[in-house]
Amino acid sequence: MSRLVVENLGIATAAGTQILEDVSFDIAPGEIVGLVGESGSGKSMTSYAVMGILPRGVHQTSGRILVDGEDVTDVERRSVACHFAMIFQNPRDSLNPLMRVGEQVARMVALHQGVSRRDARVQAVELLEQVRIAQPAEAARKYPHQLSGGMCQRIMIAMALACRPRLLLADEPTTALDVTVQSQILDLMVELTEQIQCGVLLVTHDLGVVAETCDRVNVLHQGNLVEHGPAMDLLHNPQHEYTRYLLDSARELEVDGRA
């Protein structure tokens, strides 16, 4: 059974502008599915809609969202109950600057597993170890501004793990990081996905990231899903004009980068 099924999802602004139209896709347990497209194609909004955190003035107009076969279209039934987790583009900004990172992870442990604060703290340190933070007990006492971007993203992933996620939404998780750190974070995500068998929706504009991590890809163009399929097929043999355009642009960048 699919972990996540999104059927005919539509999103519009309060003013009536359609942001997303009739988008459907699914994710199997342990599978990483990419959602690619240029800025403004609606890929981040898709992830926000699934997570149930659409910004003020934007709302879902159509479609159903199912998790393990259960209909959770009603926002109230998502997040805590469904064990959705999400990581974002700017990891440091995504953490509360006034709270120790260990405390922030522990807060999610307590919230999602209903354990005492003390147990939550112990578990938080274990989670930091799980995301390969050296000296996790010491790191737990740090504040976000004392950690690098890559470290902050690891903290975010630890927070995601604290939710025992069935689904992880990753919105441009490595865009703001150094190239060397990028692949470390991606490797960690791939490994943990395998380990806990959650489904991952990876929102990115970076086809290199897709090639490295995704099992399948959906291509979004101006709010419509224009192509989908296994990552390798799609990257080597794109069918839709827009996908070819994206690939050409990426290749040009790569050539420029080497020159």
Partner 1 sequence: MLRYVLRRLAISAVTVAGLVLVTFIVVRILPGDAAAARLGPEASQADIDALRAQLRLDDSLPKQLLDYTTGLLKGDLGPAVSTGRPVSDELFDRLPATIELAFAGLVIALLIGFPWGLLAAARPGRVGDVSGRLFAVLGSSMAPIWLGLLLIFGFYSTWHLFPGPVGRLAIGTLPPPEVTGTYVFDSLLAGDFGLAWQSIQYLALPALTLGLGASAAVFKMVRSAVLHTADSGFVRTARAYGVPGREVLLRDQLRNAMLQVLTAIGLVFGFLLGGNIIVERLFNWPGMGRVAYDALGSNDLGLLQGYALIIGTIYILLNLVVDLVYGVIDPRVRLGGSNS
- Rounded to the nearest whole angstrom, what is the least distance from the CB of residue 192 to partner 1 in the complex? 17
Amino acid type, 241: E
Candidate segments 143-151, 219-227, 231-239, 243-251, binder of partner 1 by CB under 8 A: 143-151
Amino acid type, 28: A
Candidate segments 18-26, 46-54, 113-121, 243-251, binder of partner 1 by CB under 8 A: 46-54
Give ∠ CA 104-107-110 in degrees, rounded to 5: 155
Q: Does 102 bind partner 1 (CB under 8 A)?
A: no
In the numeric block, which tokens belong to residue 202?
């990876």
Report the sign of the C-alpha dihedral through residues 120, 122, 128, 132, in that order. Answer: negative
DSSP state of 178: -
Candidate segments 105-113, 179-187, 201-209, 237-245, binder of partner 1 by CB under 8 A: 105-113
Total residues at interface with partner 1 (CB under 8 A): 30
Report the sign of the C-alpha dihedral through residues 103, 106, 112, 117, in that order. Answer: negative
Q: Does 127 bind partner 1 (CB under 8 A)?
A: no
Q: Does 58 bind partner 1 (CB under 8 A)?
A: no
Candidate segments 89-97, 129-137, 186-194, 215-223, binder of partner 1 by CB under 8 A: 89-97
- Rounded to the nearest whole angstrom, what is the least distance from the CB of residue 77 to partner 1 in the complex? 11
First to last CA, the chain: 47
Which value, to the nearest 10 degrees, does the dihedral of the CA atoms of residues 213, 224, 40, 9 take?
A: -80
Nearest to 9 by CA among 46, 56, 54: 46
Q: Does 146 bind partner 1 (CB under 8 A)?
A: yes
Give strand pairing partners of 11: 20, 60
Rounded CA separation 35/199 (Å): 13
Identify which of residues 145 and 244 has a Cβ nearer to partner 1 in the complex: 145
Q: Does 246 bind partner 1 (CB under 8 A)?
A: no
- Rounded to the nearest whole angstrom, what is the least distance from the CB of residue 148 to partner 1 in the complex? 7
32, 85, 185, 203: which one binds partner 1 (CB under 8 A): 85
Give strand pairing partners of 64: 7
118, 145, 236, 251: which one binds partner 1 (CB under 8 A): 145
Instruction: Give me the residues that bind partner 1 (CB under 8 A), please.
Output: 51-53, 79-80, 84-86, 88, 90, 92-98, 107-108, 111-112, 143, 145-149, 156, 159, 163
